[in-house]
Structure 1
């Protein structure tokens, strides 16, 4: 009887909540702000382009800064549905410069729970810059985002990627002011068909603060790329002013921009920080970002049917990761870094090639990993790239930097790409099936079967 009473109570609360939900139509930013703090509504906004400066003029930023009001809009209400199809908010980046917020402040913040947001576009314009913030943070619990699009801009310097550092690191050569896309810190967040076009130095999608149960489906991240040759051709600007000194050394041991490589001008397409439990990506794509999917946690993450295109490094995974039917190229950098243990990987190598320098197809370290690497049927890469077993990623993942060796034990590896394999001295007790040659084997108890 107690179970039945509890069920009826929950059912009654749900019914009451549905009955009380108010359906409202709005057509201004001031109305959107008003309903952002309310709960239990279905809010539909008229399609159109809404410049944020018409609601928040530049000369209002000083007052907001004095009040420590660093967000443009905070969605603090819960149990709402916001129908924002065709709604575009244009954000002049000079607002952020005038506001002068502390580092890591967000412009739009969702702190309420169990909301649904559909169809919004946020577009950054102008030549201002952020001090290190994010366009949108989802901090509340149980929120769902559908068909949200961000066009990110507003970082300094822009045009070099992470060649000269990326934050507070002591090695940083040029001080950076990042501007990232979408940050998730709230558990049980779901994102469907969300897109980020990033013309800024900062991440596209990233997750922090031990958020749990995060799900991405059909999401897309895209940055821009530039050759190191083009950077070295500059005769003025931030890179020229520091004599092109980098924060990581190249393979000759020099700290200088090296010709022949391709750099992404943003950070990662999909990135996590810290232990993020129950993280799942399905049918997601990263193009021209630094890393496609950098998921170096000690918790299990799942990727299925995901794709990378033209990244500096495609997939970077940690302990217990599951990668199924995913694909990517090694056009501008390695296809994968396996850093953890107990991973289960099935990865398809796209045969795309370029004239840029790439030093490895994948690197593998860790214990008891299972990796299957294959090519699409009837398609194979022609330029040889070595598969490095018993090797680490280069420092900071930088393609110009040298690789080191790392402990690799109990690996089961199947190579169906025809690419050559190099096995380091720290690899042991591994089983390898390959249709490519083994160009070097310094490991111990390595069983190799040619197929």
Structure 2
């Protein structure tokens, strides 16, 4: 081979190599970070503010009963990976009542066990549990607070305890009041592109399991939430305790998050409550920063107040292949522009789903009704208000739906509307009801396209 040919070929190789390097992402050509293996919490804390680290904590049980600030563990470094597979953190609830801990500089006074404020951070494999029954100083206590960009929380298991008073759900303390909560996972402003993947939250305290406040582009996938239910009959049978001391009067009367209370506030028999709040919930904003573009995929929620609540956000969120069972306020709370694809719920204790808001437009809902027999205190299968929605309701077996249940349009009943005199409307709704359940059209249900196996009936307002 001639010298010039060799030089030309070598030049071609160099150009090809440069082109390859140019198109490869930086992460593909960087040297792999060395995994640092550690065996104590003190060692772990040394790495939390560092960037470009990959840390593996030795499997085992670790006690968290001391802290310097109201965020007990703070991950502030960027581009970091924490492998906590096989690790169990036991967090003493006494920390949530410590007034001497340093406050945060973000204007939010909440206490939390772990905060991730760094960017491009992954934490995986941890089991974390609170223990003890010391009530916190506030109702905003949390296990996780995720506020960084490109944060991934993966295969983490959370078990909450430590709210007070425990055992009465939303009957006391809505909006603060007497209740001291212990929430699960918060994703909040300025969080962007956060992923919560394969996480499980066991709610054994009052609070939300997974919730968003001002976060953008959040993905919640393969996550599972479970809570506990209790009948009002069990509460009324108490011979001591918080409700007994109040002569079984709740904080207020009427409809309280899925439970009917006598108008004078007296707890009634025959009702059921969730001891926690919502499974997966979007708040509309945080200090003026809107919650935007959330996707919830392949998740399950069982025995919570509301199952999956996207309706309070107005950005149009997506819920895909999710299952909700045994919730007491509603299975799915659907709002403006939301899309629910291949979702399922029962209606044992509350409607399987609702689109309650009069200003909600153009939601799309595919809902499969699960076995709803054997429930109490509910005869509402679904509730639809607003304009322009497309709704498809199916079931694998018509016997799953009790005969007394109905689908109702333009109605105040159920979750989301608390004024019985309010003027509801349901306009330009396309409903494909493939079940035998009756469809009841209240007076302000107009210009709708109803296809239904079950009877369709116009009714007067109650």
TM category (shorter chain) comes to 0.7 to 0.9
Q: Secondary structure at the match of 2:265?
A: coil
Query: 1:78-112 CA deviation, whole Å, 9 max, x = no partner?
Result: 11111111101011212223357685322211000
Is 2:142–2:185's contact at 8 Å kept on the other side of the alignment?
Answer: yes
2:76 corresponding residue in structure 1: 76
CA distance in 2, matches of 1:125, 1:257: 30
Q: Secondary structure at the match of 1:19?
A: coil
Is 1:74–1:109's contact at 8 Å kept on the other side of the alignment?
Answer: yes
Query: 1:335-361 CA deviation, whole Å, 9 max, x = no partner?
Result: 111032100100000023224111311
Is 1:135–1:182's contact at 8 Å kept on the other side of the alignment?
Answer: yes
1:437 corresponding residue in structure 2: 455
* Mapping of residues 379-394 of structure 1, within 5 Å: 380-394=400-414
CA distance in 2, matches of 1:414, 1:224: 33
1:409 corresponding residue in structure 2: 427
Matched, 1:48 2:65: no
Find the structure with the greater CA-based Rg: 2
Change (3 A) 1:100 1:416: farther
* Mapping of residues 106-185 of structure 1, within 5 Å: 106-130=112-136, 131-132=138-139, 133-168=141-176, 175-185=178-188
Structure 2: runs of 5+ lacking an equivalent: 1-17, 104-108, 285-289
Is 1:308–1:327's contact at 8 Å kept on the other side of the alignment?
Answer: yes
Aligned partner of 1:327 among 328, 335, 344: 344
1:199 corresponding residue in structure 2: 204
TM, length-normalised to structure 2? 0.85
Matched, 1:33 2:39: no
Q: Secondary structure at the match of 1:39?
A: coil
Q: Secondary structure at the match of 2:44?
A: helix
2:318 corresponding residue in structure 1: 302
Q: Secondary structure at the match of 1:240?
A: helix
State which drifts further: 354-363 or 322-331. 354-363
Is 1:332–1:354's contact at 8 Å kept on the other side of the alignment?
Answer: no
Query: 1:15-40 CA deviation, whole Å, 9 max, x = no partner?
Result: 67x32733200111111111111111
State which drifts further: 31-40 or 373-382. 373-382
Q: Secondary structure at the match of 2:220?
A: strand
1:449 corresponding residue in structure 2: none
Matched, 1:104 2:110: yes
Change (3 A) 1:6 1:292: farther
How far has the Cα of 1:45 moved from its partner? 1.2
State which drifts further: 100-109 or 135-144. 100-109
CA distance in 1, matches of 2:343, 2:368: 6
CA distance in 2, matches of 1:397, 1:108: 36
Q: Secondary structure at the match of 2:254?
A: coil
CA distance in 1, matches of 2:80, 2:278: 31
CA distance in 1, matches of 2:439, 2:87: 51
Matched, 1:256 2:266: yes
Aligned residue pair count? 419
2:216 corresponding residue in structure 1: 212
Query: 1:293-327 CA deviation, whole Å, 9 max, x = no partner?
Result: 11121111111110001111100011011001100
